[in-house]
């Protein structure tokens, strides 16, 4: 009897001990979270914008889930790679700098290639097929005058107040033109993005990078599988591995093109065969072109899913001015993530569906302002989604075209919406948790993020000041918030 009551006593003791230990752990975690929130609120209240920027730059981050590889390159990167055949796979480029009206007047200026558009870039194999009059409109990229070179590079940059959505959609891609058909440039740009995102403390990049429509320097087509291998080889090089960034690709189709269904089918089959590198499909292209309405792709996807395993989908939806049901219709297509989701705010039943659910909205604050989908951040639905339990993450979209980075997205979110430290952590955790990686890979990245963040907060809370990492702010943050840092010049 005594023995029995002793063992009961010891069980009770173990139970109480474990309970108190658990309570202590929970309490410590809560105390820590509230201490961090308090520290960050105090920091925001007292720090200059420059100090806040430096803190956010040095802060560990998760992933970028909405990134177009060809739109993410800074114009100086384009300039350097286009003019150096030893780094671009041996291609020579020409830039249109003069108009000679070689084919007379009355041509279609609203098609895919307007003869009146300056600073279009072509490769030598195309240049050689032109008439002598047309050739006289172009200069080799290495022979551009300083003024021409600046105008060419600024032609793929939204740097002027009057430039916005039309300039972006109707001239930037048309000017880059055949620079986007060189797989060696694409692979090198992928590496440059990895380096720059790793410098900002990111761990994961899921970028939209196609393998279709690439050309050799002689103008012949390169098979998609060969392009995938060019990406693989670049990612396997030591300097890419040294960035520590995990990278996966999405294949993209242009939603409003006449053959979009075939492009979607091709993407689906290609991603299915290259699952080590490609993890999903995206639908891109301006959504205010009704030819690309979401439900157009329902029957194609249903047909593909009859014979092929699941391919993850993240489609642009709700990046329009008008209220409509694009987000709801896109969810019906089977997507797990929505790109932009701006007009979701106009569709109450879909908002209710998305609260505390498994679908994430990829938020692109700077893109939305630059392309005039909002005219001020007071109109942006991001804080409403974030604070009503709709999963969201911050991303950079075509950041090269407005000279920004992931730090800028956090800076805008903190300045405009007063993010708490816990909200910052949630955004970064979401950007890993909702990536199209395996559960094991995500768990390992989340662990890494948590330990990076723990080391960072311990260091910064004790120091009460920010690091002296050398940084340079881009055009967007300098022109919009007057935070103009260039440590290399000081
Ligand atoms: Zn996008």
Flag whether pLDDT at 16 surpasses 80: no
Residue 279, CB-side half-sphere exposure with 13 Å CA sphere: 18
Give residue 218 CA to ligand 1 midpoint distance, Å.
31
Give residue 284 CA to ligand 1 midpoint distance, Å.
7
- pLDDT in the model for residue 26: 53
- Does residue 471 fall inside a structural domain? no
Domain residues for the domain of 137 are 92-175
Flag whether pLDDT at 212 surpasses 80: yes
- Does residue 68 fall inside a structural domain? yes
Note residues around ion ligand 1 (Cβ under 5 angstroms): 397
- pLDDT in the model for residue 462: 76
Model pLDDT for residues 238-263, shown as the tens digit of each residue: 999 999 999 999 999 999 999 999 99
Residue 203, CB-side half-sphere exposure with 13 Å CA sphere: 25
Model pLDDT for residues 419-473, shown as the tens digit of each residue: 999 999 999 999 999 999 999 999 999 999 999 999 999 888 777 666 667 899 9
- Average pLDDT along the chain: 93
Give residue 82 CA to ligand 1 midpoint distance, Å.
24
* Residue 127 neighbours by CB distance under 10 Å: 16
Contacts of 42 (CB under 8 A, 6+ apart): none
Q: How far apart are CA 288 and CA 319, in angstroms?
A: 8
User: What's the average model confidence in pLDDT over 317-333?
Assistant: 97
For the CA atoms of 103, 216, 181, 177, what is the dihedral angle to 10 degrees? -20
Give residue 313 CA to ligand 1 midpoint distance, Å.
14
Give residue 107 CA to ligand 1 midpoint distance, Å.
31
Confirm if 271 and 281 have CB atoms less than 8 A apart. yes
Flag whether pLDDT at 320 surpasses 70: yes
Residue 215 gets which letter from DSSP? Answer: B
Give residue 362 CA to ligand 1 midpoint distance, Å.
9
Q: How far apart are CA 178 and CA 243, in angstroms?
A: 29
The verdict on 61 and 117 lying in the same domain is: no
The verdict on 454 and 330 lying in the same domain is: yes
Confirm if 395 and 409 have CB atoms less than 8 A apart. yes
Q: How far apart are CA 88 and CA 323, in angstroms?
A: 44
β 278-284/314-317 pair status: unpaired
Confirm if 432 and 446 have CB atoms less than 8 A apart. yes
CATH code (residue 342): 3.20.20.140
Give residue 136 CA to ligand 1 midpoint distance, Å.
36
**Structural domains in the chain (count):** 2
- Please name every residue paired with 284 in a beta bridge, in sequence order, or none if there are none: 254
The verdict on 127 and 259 lying in the same domain is: no
Closest CA to 477 of 413, 389, 393: 413
Give residue 451 CA to ligand 1 midpoint distance, Å.
30
Last residue of a domain, one of 175, 206, 222: 175
- How many helices (DSSP H) and strands (DSSP E) are in the chain? 21, 11
Give residue 91 CA to ligand 1 midpoint distance, Å.
28
Q: 284's torsion region: left (phi>0), alpha (psi -120 to 50) or beta?
A: beta
Residue 171 gets which letter from DSSP? Answer: I
The verdict on 195 and 290 lying in the same domain is: yes
Rounded to the nearest 5°, which phi and psi values hold at 9? -60, -45
Give residue 239 CA to ligand 1 midpoint distance, Å.
28
Model pLDDT for residues 183-199, shown as the tens digit of each residue: 999 999 999 999 999 99
């Amino acid at each position: 009897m005594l023995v029995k009551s002793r063992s009961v006593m010891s069980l009770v003791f173990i139970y109480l001990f474990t309970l108190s230990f658990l309570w202590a752990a929970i309490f410590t975690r809560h105390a820590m979270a509230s201490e961090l929130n308090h520290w960050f609120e105090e920091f925001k209240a007292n720090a200059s914008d420059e100090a806040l920027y430096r803190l956010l730059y040095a802060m560990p981050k998760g992933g970028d889930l909405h990134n177009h590889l060809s739109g993410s390159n800074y114009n100086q990167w384009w300039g350097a790679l286009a003019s150096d055949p030893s780094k671009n796979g041996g291609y020579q480029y020409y830039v249109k700098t003069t108009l000679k009206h070689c084919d007379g007047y009355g041509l279609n200026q609203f098609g895919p290639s307007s003869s009146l558009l300056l600073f279009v870039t072509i490769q030598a194999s195309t240049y050689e097929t032109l008439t002598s009059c047309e050739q006289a409109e172009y200069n080799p990229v290495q022979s551009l005058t300083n003024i021409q070179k600046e105008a060419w590079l600024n032609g793929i940059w939204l740097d002027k107040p009057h430039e916005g959505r039309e300039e972006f959609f109707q001239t930037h891609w048309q000017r880059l033109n055949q620079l986007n058909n060189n797989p060696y440039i694409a692979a090198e740009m992928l590496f440059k993005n990895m380096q720059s995102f790793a410098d900002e403390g990111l761990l994961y990049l899921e970028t939209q990078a196609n393998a279709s429509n690439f050309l050799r320097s002689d103008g012949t087509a390169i098979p998609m599988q060969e392009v995938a291998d060019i990406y693989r080889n670049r990612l396997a090089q030591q300097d890419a591995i040294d960035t520590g960034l995990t990278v996966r690709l999405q294949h993209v189709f242009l939603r409003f093109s006449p053959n979009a269904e075939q492009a979607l089918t091709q993407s689906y089959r290609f991603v299915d065969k290259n699952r080590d590198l490609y993890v999903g499909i995206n639908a891109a292209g301006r959504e205010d072109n009704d030819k690309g309405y979401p439900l157009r792709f329902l029957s194609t996807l249903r047909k593909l899913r009859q014979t092929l395993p699941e391919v993850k989908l993240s489609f642009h939806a709700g990046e329009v001015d008008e209220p409509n049901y694009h987000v709801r219709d896109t969810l019906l297509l089977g997507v797990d993530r929505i790109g932009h989701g701006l007009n979701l705010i106009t569709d109450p039943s879909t908002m209710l569906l998305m609260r505390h659910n498994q679908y994430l909205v990829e938020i692109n604050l700077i893109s939305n302002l630059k392309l005039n989908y909002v005219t001020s951040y007071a109109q942006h639905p991001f804080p409403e989604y974030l604070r009503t339990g709709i999963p969201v993450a911050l991303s950079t979209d075509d950041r090269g075209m407005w000279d920004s980075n992931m730090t800028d997205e956090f800076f805008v979110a903190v300045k405009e919406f007063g993010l708490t430290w816990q909200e910052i952590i949630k955004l970064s955790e979401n950007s890993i948790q909702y990536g199209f990686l395996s559960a094991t890979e995500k768990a390992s990245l989340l662990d890494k993020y948590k330990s990076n963040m723990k080391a960072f907060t311990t260091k910064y809370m004790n120091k009460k000041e920010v690091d002296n990492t050398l940084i340079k702010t881009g055009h967007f943050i300098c022109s919009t918030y007057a935070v103009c840092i260039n440590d290399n010049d000081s």
